[in-house]
């Protein structure tokens, strides 16, 4: 069993976690980062890497993947140690008032402070209840779009009525042979402007709105889809020739072991002091989507600000009694 020692252990390698690495590094705090996914980036990288983000300061538009790549480059000078494909399964106080994080592979990380940046916790897709759907998953059935180009020239059925379904219908209509949107009612739960664009494309014949229908079955063999069967509530069946099915029925979130760490919770979120991002546990901070406080906004840029506050507060925990002289990055540069 391996035991590592560091200044700060960061739970979660999404945008808030990666920026926490940078902020800690600027204060010369060493970090280890743990994430249950086998790659950094969190939901940005796993669910919508090619989707554009428009509210990152100084970047009018960039993809989620580009954002993650730039955050990794920004963190690189500080040599963070990544433990990917692992989960923090336990968190306990040591005899010298540090924290011992037990990982799912049996290793341990001992740190002076902890920053929990776990987003919404472990997540997975809500699968439609279709017989033998697992045979098609990863080949013809998808729950998120990792690479837009894989659908060029394909017949794509998109099931769902929220923002993801509508956004990708608009996006893929530009490159797919045909896009067919299946929803159980004519009204969608997407942004009004996006829904208006969807109906406009349907009127132009650029895509098909298959409403009010629900998924009923899949036709194909060896994981290769030939058609998607849909049905109305009255039992009327339609067969949609298809190469791929995109099923957007939301994600199931699970805090997992975090829920057992004696943190003060507000539902599925961790209560923090917004001035320092400190939880009820000494030396344990929370940033990003997993934390809550009055006036909280679930925006990536808010997670970045929270990461800065948590890192500065963590410095006083790791180095008690030592004054922290704050310098602007333009003056301090990148510490060696």
Q: pLDDT digit string (tens) for 189-240? A: 988 999 999 999 999 999 999 999 999 999 999 999 999 999 998 989 999 9
* Rounded Cα distance, 281 and 272, in Å: 10
Q: How does 147-162 read in b/e, with b if 16+ C-beta sit within 10 Å?
A: ebeebeebbbbbbbbe
Asked whether the beta carbons of 180 and 158 are under 8 A apart, the reply is yes
* Rounded Cα distance, 322 and 320, in Å: 6
The order of strands in the sheet holding 291-292 is: 265-266, 269-271, 291-292
Longest dimension (CA), the chain: 73
- Helices then strands, counting H and E runs in the chain, come out as 7, 22
Q: Region of 321 please: left (phi>0), alpha (psi -120 to 50) or beta.
A: left
pLDDT at 270 over 80: yes
41, two tokens: 């980036």
- Structural domains in the chain, CATH included, are 3-123+252-332 (3.50.50.60), 127-249 (3.50.50.60)
* Nearest in space to 115 (alpha carbons), one of 321, 272, 293: 272
* Rounded Cα distance, 317 and 284, in Å: 9
Instruction: Annotate 15-32 with three-state secondary structure.
Output: HHHHHHHHHHHHCCCCEE
239-261 pLDDT per residue, tens: 999 999 999 997 776 778 898 99
42, two tokens: 């969190």
300-331 pLDDT per residue, tens: 999 999 999 999 999 999 999 998 888 788 88
Residue with tokens 């037990």: 102
6-16 pLDDT per residue, tens: 999 999 999 99
124-161 pLDDT per residue, tens: 678 899 999 999 998 999 988 878 899 999 999 999 99
Pairing assessment for the beta strands 265-266 and 269-271 based on DSSP bridges: antiparallel
pLDDT at 1 over 90: no
12, two tokens: 């979660």
* Rounded Cα distance, 7 and 101, in Å: 12
- E strands present in 36-166: 52-53, 62-63, 81-84, 88-93, 99-103, 108-116, 122-125, 141-142, 155-159
Neighbouring CB atoms inside 10 A of 253's CB total 16
71 CB-near residues (< 8 Å, 6+ apart): 15, 18, 19, 22
């Amino acid at each position: 069993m391996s035991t590592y020692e560091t200044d700060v252990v960061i739970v979660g390698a999404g945008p808030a976690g990666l920026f926490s690495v940078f902020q800690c590094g600027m204060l010369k705090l060493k970090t280890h980062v743990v994430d249950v996914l086998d790659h950094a980036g969190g939901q940005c990288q796993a669910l919508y890497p090619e989707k554009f983000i428009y509210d990152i300061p100084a970047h009018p538009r960039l993809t989620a993947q580009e954002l993650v790549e730039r955050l990794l480059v920004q963190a690189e000078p500080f040599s963070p140690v990544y433990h990917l494909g692992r989960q923090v399964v336990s968190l306990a106080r040591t005899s010298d008032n540090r924290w011992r994080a037990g990982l799912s592979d049996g290793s341990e990380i001992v740190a002076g402070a902890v920053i929990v940046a776990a987003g919404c916790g472990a997540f997975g897709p809500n699968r439609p209840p279709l017989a033998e759907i697992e045979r098609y998953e990863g080949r013809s059935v998808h729950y998120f779009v990792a690479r837009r180009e894989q659908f060029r020239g394909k017949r794509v059925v998109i099931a769902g009525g929220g923002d993801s379904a509508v956004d990708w219908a608009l996006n893929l209509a530009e490159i797919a042979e045909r896009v067919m949107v299946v929803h159980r009612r004519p009204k969608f739960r997407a942004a009004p402007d996006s829904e208006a664009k969807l109906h406009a494309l349907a009127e132009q014949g650029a895509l098909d709105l298959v409403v009010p229908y629900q998924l009923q079955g899949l036709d194909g063999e060896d994981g290769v889809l030939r058609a998607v069967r849909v049905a109305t509530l009255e039992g009327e069946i339609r067969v949609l020739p298809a190469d791929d099915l995109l099923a957007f029925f939301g994600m199931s979130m699970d805090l997992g072991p975090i829920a057992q760490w004696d943190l003060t919770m507000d539902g599925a979120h961790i209560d923090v002091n917004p001035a320092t991002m400190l939880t009820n546990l000494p030396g344990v901070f929370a940033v990003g989507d997993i934390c809550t406080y009055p006036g909280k906004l679930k925006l990536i840029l808010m997670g970045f600000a929270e990461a800065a506050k948590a890192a500065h507060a963590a410095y006083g925990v790791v180095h008690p009694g030592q004054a922290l002289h704050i310098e602007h990055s333009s003056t301090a540069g990148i510490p060696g």
